[in-house]
């Protein structure tokens, strides 16, 4: 186990909500909640202004609305967040070849492997420069933890939030961990935490005092040994640059239970196509097709079928998902559907049975026309709250809300003053969906700093952001708490 605090953990601060605030001047300094907006939606991220009211990730959206009725509630823009994440990960890879992403907004970095740090002083300087670079490149803030192990570095970044840096000096680990809750340690979830609590163990220090034998008796050999070692601040897990993807899946939760069998089948086909899109985007294929169905009574059924070889053929995956659906009773209603592919590979093997069937079928049989009475009705244009639009006359803006045949848009850009609000008919031909605008002007890629150039001089000042506007948002939908 290393002794120098050269493992860095980065966690972007309230990432989705902060990205929305940075791109929408009228929301800066306001309570912002990002997530599913339907009756069954959950909170993905809440800004720090919203957390004051008790709103937090994974909370039901209905509960969040009761706690913070005046917050801005927005639908996630994952492509936008991914583009920001790629720039942040590029900064991390400039520091070291050993970067282990955990999600879009979180990663470990082995600074020693890249020669970016070798002791506490150089590690602190590298972390400070990284935070300044992130702010300059994205306009957002991130919190950094530095320690001799992954577990401690992550704890450090949690203590650093928001927009801070915590370095855990070697030799101080036990004193830091002792008073913390057992839930702080990796692998201690609600169930394990409750089990330990019933045994009278509430803190990390009490885990160490209980002893290894008692933990093995309570939790089993593997978990007990691992938890005792972590309570003693022993964690030798390395930073792993490539995390193997084990499956690719998509799922949707519906605001109203789906009872129509044809509608369920069409949703499964749509999910299968989305899953194929993700597969191909990652350059992968898979052998096992998985269907997930959560019914009206919250019972969840999973069905799977393993093919002869890996595939990314949308027709093959759609057909397999349809066969799996045939084995599931959906008469009571469906609240969630999902399609996934596992047994992944980076190559495909043609499905000979599908090819043979295709060779025997006529074009009409391959693509039978839907009966006239089953043709889906033209769908109304959807305008998700928070998503980007462009108007022929007023320019770039974002959807503040929609309903009753109208859509309300606030016209502003990341570098503008808070914009004005206008309302249009949903089918207004001058209004179209748009791509997100960058948060800050493009900057040259950051080059790694050679170790010889690192010094113990003054820490650089973080790049400054445009001053956040603190006025009142029109309409009362996002007024300041």
pLDDT tens-place string over residues 375-406: 444 455 789 999 999 999 999 999 999 888 99
> What SS3 class is residue 234?
coil
Mean pLDDT of 81-104: 93
At 1 the pLDDT is 63
Taking residues 118-144, what's their average pLDDT?
Answer: 95
Strand order in the sheet with 420-425: 420-425, 406-411, 395-403, 388-391, 431-433
Per-residue model confidence (pLDDT) at position 345: 79
Residue 136 has pLDDT above 90, yes or no: yes
The average pLDDT across 180-196 equals 85
Tokens read off for 236: 């030798």
- Closest alpha carbon to 479 in 40, 227, 471, 322: 471
Helices (H), 53-189: 61-67, 78-95, 120-138, 150-160, 173-177
Pairing of strands 165-167, 142-147: parallel
Residue 244's pLDDT band (cuts 50, 70, 90):
low
Confidence category of residue 187, pLDDT binned at 50, 70, 90: confident
Rounded-to-integer distance, Cα 438 and Cα 443, Å: 11
Residues recognised as catalytic: 106
Rounded CA-CA distance 29/478 in Å is: 10
- What is the pLDDT of the chain when averaged over all its residues? 83
This prediction's pTM: 0.72
Q: Cα 425–427–429 angle (5° rounding)?
A: 105
- Rounded mean pLDDT, 301-311: 90
Sequence-ordered list of residues with C-beta below 8 angstroms from that of 235, at least 6 positions apart, any chain: 1, 149, 150, 151, 152, 229
Does the structure show a pLDDT above 90 at 347?
A: no
Whether the per-residue pLDDT at 361 is higher than 50: the answer is: no
Identify the CA nearest to 288 among candidates 271, 306, 312: 306
The residue whose two tokens read 């970044």 is: 157
Q: Which of 111-115, 332-336, 364-368, 419-423 has the lowest mean pLDDT?
A: 364-368
pLDDT for position 300: 87
What pLDDT is recorded for position 371? Answer: 39
pLDDT at res. 441: 58
Length of the chain: 481
Rounded to an integer, the average pLDDT of 414-425 is 94
Rounded to whole angstroms, the Cα distance separating 433 from 216 reads: 57
């Amino acid at each position: 186990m290393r002794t120098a605090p050269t493992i860095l953990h980065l966690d972007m601060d309230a990432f989705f909500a902060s990205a929305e605030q940075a791109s929408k001047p009228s929301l800066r300094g306001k309570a912002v909640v990002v997530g599913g907006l339907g009756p069954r939606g959950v909170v993905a991220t809440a800004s720090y202004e919203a957390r004051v009211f008790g709103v937090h990730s994974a909370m039901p959206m209905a509960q969040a609305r009761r706690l913070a009725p005046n917050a801005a509630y927005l639908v996630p823009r994952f492509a936008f967040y991914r583009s920001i994440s790629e720039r942040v990960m590029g900064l991390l890879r400039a520091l070291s070849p050993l970067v282990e992403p955990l999600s879009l907004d979180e990663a470990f970095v082995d600074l020693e492997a890249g020669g970016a740090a070798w002791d506490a002083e150089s590690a602190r300087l590298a972390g400070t420069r990284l935070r300044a670079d992130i702010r300059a490149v994205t306009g957002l803030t991130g919190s950094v933890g530095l320690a001799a192990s992954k577990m401690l570095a992550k704890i450090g970044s949690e203590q650093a939030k928001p927009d801070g840096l915590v370095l855990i000096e070697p030799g101080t680990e036990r004193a830091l961990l002792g008073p913390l809750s057992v839930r702080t340690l990796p692998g201690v979830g609600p169930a394990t935490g409750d089990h330990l609590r019933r045994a009278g163990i509430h803190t990390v220090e009490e885990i160490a005092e209980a002893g290894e034998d008692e933990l093995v008796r309570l939790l089993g050999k593997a978990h007990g040994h691992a938890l005792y070692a972590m309570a003693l601040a022993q964690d030798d897990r390395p930073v792993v640059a490539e995390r193997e993807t084990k499956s690719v899946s998509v799922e949707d939760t519906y605001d109203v239970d789906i009872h129509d069998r044809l509608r369920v089948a069409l949703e499964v086909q749509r999910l299968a196509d989305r899953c194929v899109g993700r597969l191909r985007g990652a350059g992968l294929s898979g052998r096992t097709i998985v269907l997930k169905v959560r019914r009206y009574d919250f019972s969840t059924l999973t069905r799977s079928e393993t093919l002869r070889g890996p595939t990314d053929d949308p027709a093959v995956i759609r057909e397999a998902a349809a066969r799996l659906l045939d084995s599931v009773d959906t008469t009571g209603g469906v609240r969630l559907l999902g399609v996934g592919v596992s047994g992944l590979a980076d190559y495909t093997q043609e499905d000979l049975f599908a090819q043979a069937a295709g060779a025997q079928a006529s074009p009409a049989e391959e693509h039978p026309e839907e009966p006239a009475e089953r043709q889906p009705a033209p769908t109304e244009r959807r305008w998700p709250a928070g998503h980007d639009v462009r108007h022929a006359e007023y320019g770039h803006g974002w959807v503040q809300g929609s309903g009753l045949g109208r859509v309300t848009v606030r016209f502003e850009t990341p570098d503008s003053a808070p914009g004005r609000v206008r309302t249009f008919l949903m089918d207004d031909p001058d209004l179209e969906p748009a791509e997100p605008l960058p948060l800050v002007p493009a900057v040259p890629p950051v080059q790694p700093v050679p170790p010889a150039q690192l010094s113990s001089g003054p820490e650089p000042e973080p790049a400054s952001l445009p001053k956040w506007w603190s006025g009142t948002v029109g309409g009362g939908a996002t007024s300041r708490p």
